[in-house]
Amino acid sequence: MKRSRTAALLLMSTVPLLLTACDSDEQAREGLYTSVDACVAQTNDRSTCEQAFDKAKKDSAETAPRFTSREQCEASYGAEQCAERNEGSHSFFGPLMTGFFLSQMMRGSSPMTGFTSGPAFRDNGGGWQRPATDAGGVYRSTGGTTAMVPVTATPNRAVTVSRSGFGASSGARGAGG
């Protein structure tokens, strides 16, 4: 009898979460921006864009790919796109951050509290990359350097992904030009 009461209380405590998950008005908006001003033009939120840029810049120092020579870095990211960095007693070369991602949860047209951001790098082929993360949001490393994944986002354009209820699939559509 005690076990069934505990199970009933546990199930009852999940009801508000399930009802919140069914709210079809929530969306996730993510954009790839090349500057704070480009972000502000899409989001009308200078404070969030500046915070996202600053966080991405800080993360870039920790998550950018690392190369032993400038030539190796420039082979992947292009001439004049790599900088020498120092970590403790050793130095390495890494690409310059050329953009940043900003993801926000939206309810209707209003941003909800909180956002996530991260650095973006443009490779020598003109494509965009971001550091890979595992399911916990921690950057994944391979052989001493952060694993990079290609992205297909269009720079300086926010993308909205609908969250149309609990268990529904998400769809993406452009939200601006």
Q: Which tokens is 140 given?
A: 């994944």
Q: What sign results for the dihedral spanned by CA atoms 111, 99, 51, 38?
A: negative
**Which residue, 60, 78, 70, is CA-closest to 126?**
78
Cα–Cα distance measured from residue 81 to residue 13, given in angstroms and rounded to the nearest whole number: 52
pLDDT in tens, the chain (177 residues): 555 555 454 444 444 444 444 444 556 678 899 999 999 998 888 999 999 999 999 999 888 889 999 999 999 999 999 999 888 888 899 999 999 999 877 666 665 567 889 999 999 989 999 988 765 555 555 555 668 888 888 888 765 544 444 444 444 434 443
* Burial class for 2, CB neighbours closer than 10 Å (0-12, 13-18, 19+): exposed
Domain boundaries, given as residue ranges, for the chain: 25-64+97-163
- The single residue listed with the structure tokens 């908006």 is 29
Can you give the pLDDT at residue 112? 57
Q: Hey, what's the torsion of the CAs at 99, 42, 153, 163, to 10 degrees?
A: 130
- Cα–Cα distance for residue pair 51/102, rounded to 1 Å: 10
* Cα–Cα distance measured from residue 77 to residue 52, given in angstroms and rounded to the nearest whole number: 23
